[in-house]
Structure 1
Amino acid sequence: MTFPPLREELRGLEPYGAPQLDVPVCLNTNENPYGPSAACADDIANSVREAALGLNRYPDREHEELRAGLASYLTADTGPDGHTITPAQVWAANGSNEVMLQLLQAFGGPGRTAISFAPTYSMYPEYARDTHTGWVAGRRADDFGLDLGAARDLVATERPSVVFLPSPNNPTGTALAPAVIGELCALVGDSGLVVVDEAYGEFRRGGTPSALELLPAHRNLVVTRTMSKAFAAAGLRLGYLAADPAICDAIRIVRLPYHLSAVTQATAVAALRHTDELLGQVATLRAERDATVAWLRDQGFEVADSDANFCLFGRFADRHAVWQGLLDRGVLIREVGPDGWLRVSIGTPAEMTAFRTALTQVTGDLR
């Protein structure tokens, strides 16, 4: 055996990660380009200082204050009829990545299978691999929506323990209709979970409901969110979910002790006090996204309908050449998704102008 004695299925693999390059315009990781205000930063700093005075003690293992704040925030997004999401229905971890890993630690594992529908978030199969959970990816329809017939067949064949449904989807930006989510919840039944990943949920277009509305009807439904995107807190690494309390209790079995530090909890609670401010640019980013979609289509590109803060566009005979050409002009986007497509995050108006200018130059040079 060669050293180090790595698990066989991990040999030769590269760690996940988007390029981190020092360029003038970074539009590759779907961050919010508008940072917190000085007042918000001061509140966070004061809260962290207070937490620091007690760092000789372990943090609240159940992060109760944070769960209460998140529950209140989510309750406001449960639709026109509304329902109350309680702290017992909420769980948080170090990014929605850790939330999903914990879900597979509790509900996946050897002899169990997780599924999704490609193109989909590239980390899902890695969560499955790391928890020894089987992984099967079905295919999406040509418009990147979900083919319900094919989905029914895949569920019937694989009998999955976990179904991952990003909505809005990454990397396409497309959202799923509640009826589709509800049908999959019914198909899976009590034998598995349906995890709707709403990392970009706050960016969805008007009239597009959240899967949070479906929680009272489906006890096997899990809705995950993050503070990394709309909340302008990618550096915080705070993800969370809403689900039946029994699901949260199950996760408590597999979580590591004191998994959320006192500093993380203090920062997140303080950030929630500034929700209106931190989400204040969401409408601006939606409008910029819609304008970017319209402009790309006017230029003759195919663009997936987007309810997120990014656009998937193509098609290119050599997408890497386009990506490299943009990078050479100081604009970094993401080479991800189906072959022939590229994804651009929505930035400030100045950043999007730089993107449009660079793309026009690159595609002109390649013609």
Structure 2
Amino acid sequence: MGIHGVLDSALPTRPAHFSLERAIRPNILALHPYRCARDDYQAGILLDANENALGHSILASSDTDPSALELPLHRYPDPSHPTIKARIAALRGLPGPEHVFLGVGSDEVIDLLQRVFVVPGGTEKILVTPPTYGMYSVCAQVNDVGIVKVPLELSGAKGEGGESGRFSLPVDEIKRTIDADPAIKLIFLCSPGNPTGTLLSLASIRAVLAYPAFKGVVVVDEAYIDFASGSDASTVSLLPEFANLVVMQTLSKGFGLAAIRLGIALAHPALIQVLSNTKAPYNISTPTASLALSALSPASLALTRTKVGTLLAQRRVLADALAQPGMRKLGLGAVIGAGDANFVMVPVLAKGNGEGEEGKRGPDNARALRVYRALAEEQGVVVRFRGNEPGCEGCLRITVGSEEETVQVLERLRGVLEVL
């Protein structure tokens, strides 16, 4: 049948066991995308899209950003944003903008991937590896898609797939699950993990991508990749080998632009074309595009790297302070996870009755909830309770803040633990 906008000669050929055409839902494969007014012409006397030719009616006031009013808000936005895509491709070492898709946050990308590849009605499924980002399963439920769960290695013992360490990828268990259930079409992996903060190894991800029995697509969510160490941290390096790979990134975390809602998918151009065929015509607004373009300028990128470096240093300060003997005596366990993101996760232990027994206490969800609520409601410090997720009993996830915020959270956490 072919893919609209993709020549047969441009379809991926690697890995040999993967066919993009067979992986896509038939109705998506047959889709002719909506052709919007700005696909053909973007300049001139524009009388084709029924826009308001007199412009917007926002009056400048103390509540208004003057720079926003200078944008052409009465015109529909560019549907493709090639300049933004080109800058992202250059930043991530990809050949060109044809490898980049832009979404309204990563959540739109997650939803779109499920609608493209997974037939609703529970007959086809996604696979997730808890503890992980909850929106994969939320989108699956909204789309009436089945969910298969294969937990990450929770004990820290060496796994059968050659991986080792807590929150590593259980490669052999994933393979067995694929063998038992060919209805699995998408595998969602979070690296660095949320809430684990742990980077999955490229070797383990490669093993899943190369497994011939899996005919679907592996999605690696790299929302926190800018905080991970090592030149081989990102799965983007695997894209030339594997057309069954989608790497999701975002401007929300390292770039500090959560409010503009810009998510990114990096993949083989044919797969990117399928996403582009399926998305809403004008999904990225003009204000979002303008801010994103500024954020991707050389000067802004340099500032982003500086701020990321500052947060990484502050992450070490926070983790070291949480590990001090005084905190242990008050009932904090050791920070868990590898610390590859802009947060740390630490378990709250059961209340002790005397000196020297902190090593005998286990994580305590009830106490952790009390600490979480007291911090928010009495101390004005809002962290996240993650104790209901596998391998995270009693855990609070604490985002790395400014130097002053770190001082405050440590002081107030210490005070709450002394009382509770």
TM-score, normalisation: structure 2: 0.71
Alpha-carbon distance in structure 2 between the residues aligned to 1:222 and 1:118? 19
Residue 363 of structure 1 aligns with which residue?
Answer: 417
Q: Tell me which of 303, 311, 327 is aligned to 2:335.
A: 303
2:69 matched to 1:67? Answer: no
Distance 1:74 1:130 in 2: 32
SS in 1 for 2:398: strand
Q: Which residue of 2 aligns with 1:27?
A: none
Query: Is the helix fraction higher in 1 or 2?
Result: 1
> 1:173 is matched with which residue?
197
Once the two structures are overlaid, the 10-residue window that deviates more, 167-176 or 302-311, is 302-311
Q: Distance in 1 between matches of 2:242 and 2:195?
A: 27
Q: Secondary structure at the match of 2:220?
A: strand
Question: d(CA) in 1 for partners of 2:119 and 2:153?
Answer: 29
Equivalent residue number for residue 38 of structure 1: none
* Offset at residue 358 of structure 1 (A): 1.4
Superimposed CA distance per residue, residues 29-76 of structure 1 (whole angstroms, 9 cap, x where no aligned partner): xxxxxxxxxxxxxxx974x44532xx333222122222112111211x
Q: How does 1:19-168 map to 2 (within 5 A)?
A: 46=67, 48-52=68-72, 55-75=73-93, 84-110=94-120, 111-142=123-154, 143-159=166-182, 160-168=184-192
SS in 1 for 2:174: helix
Provide the C-alpha distance between the structure 2 equivalents of 1:45 and 1:155, rounded to a whole number of angstroms: 54
Structure 2: gaps spanning 5 or more residues: 1-64, 155-165, 350-363
Write the deviation string for residues 205-248 of structure 1: whole angstroms up to 9, x where unpaired.
24552111111111111111000111011111111011001111
- For residues 133 and 268 of structure 1, the distance between their equivalents in structure 2, rounded to whole angstroms, comes to 33
SS state at 1:126 partner: helix
Structure with the bigger RCO (C-alpha within 8 Å, sep 6+) is 1
1:162 match: secondary structure: strand
Q: Who is 1:349 aligned against?
A: 403
| CA 121–50 in structure 1, closer or farther in 2 if over 3 Å, else same | same
1:228-247 aligned within 5 A: 228-247=252-271
Aligned equivalents of 2:226, 2:66: Cα separation in 1? 26
Asked if the contact 1:228/1:238 (under 8 Å) is kept, the reply is: yes
Rg (Cα) greater in structure:
2
- Partner residue in 2 for 1:199: 223
2:289 maps to what in 1?
A: 265
Is structure 2 residue 315 aligned with structure 1 residue 289?
A: yes
CA distance in 2, matches of 1:346, 1:255: 34
C-alpha distance in structure 2 between counterparts of 1:365 and 1:188, whole Å? 56
Deviation at 1:189, TM superposition (A): 6.3
- Which 10-residue stretch deviates more, 181-190 or 156-165? 181-190
Task: Give the fraction of aligned pairs with identical amino acids, expressed as a percent.
Answer: 32
1:226 aligned onto 2:258: no
Aligned residues of 2:178 and 2:213 also touching (Cα < 8 A)? no
Shift of 1:252: 1.9
Partner of 2:6: none
Q: Which whole-Å deviations, capped at 9, do the CAs of 1:282-339 have from their partners, x for residues lacking one?
A: 0111121122222223333221221000011104312111101212112110012433
One-letter amino acid matched to 2:201:
A
How far, CA to CA, are the matches of 1:221 and 1:150 in structure 2? Answer: 20
TM-score by length of 1: 0.81
Equivalent AA in structure 2 for residue 275 of structure 1: L
Q: Kindly tell me: are residues 45 and 99 of structure 1, through their superposed partners in 2, closer, same or farther at Cα, counting changes over 3 Å?
A: farther
C-alpha displacement of 1:144: 1.6
Moved more, 86-95 or 146-155: 146-155
Aligned residues: 312
Cα distance in 2, alignment partners of residues 137 and 164 from structure 1: 10
SS of the residue corresponding to residue 260 of structure 2 reads coil
Q: Provide the aligned C-alpha RMSD in A.
A: 1.8
Q: Contact 1:215–1:243 at 8 Å: present in 2 too?
A: yes
Distance 1:85 1:100, change over 3 A: farther
Aligned partner letter, 2:250: T
SS of residue matched to 1:351: helix
Report the CA distance between 1:202 and its aligned residue: 0.2
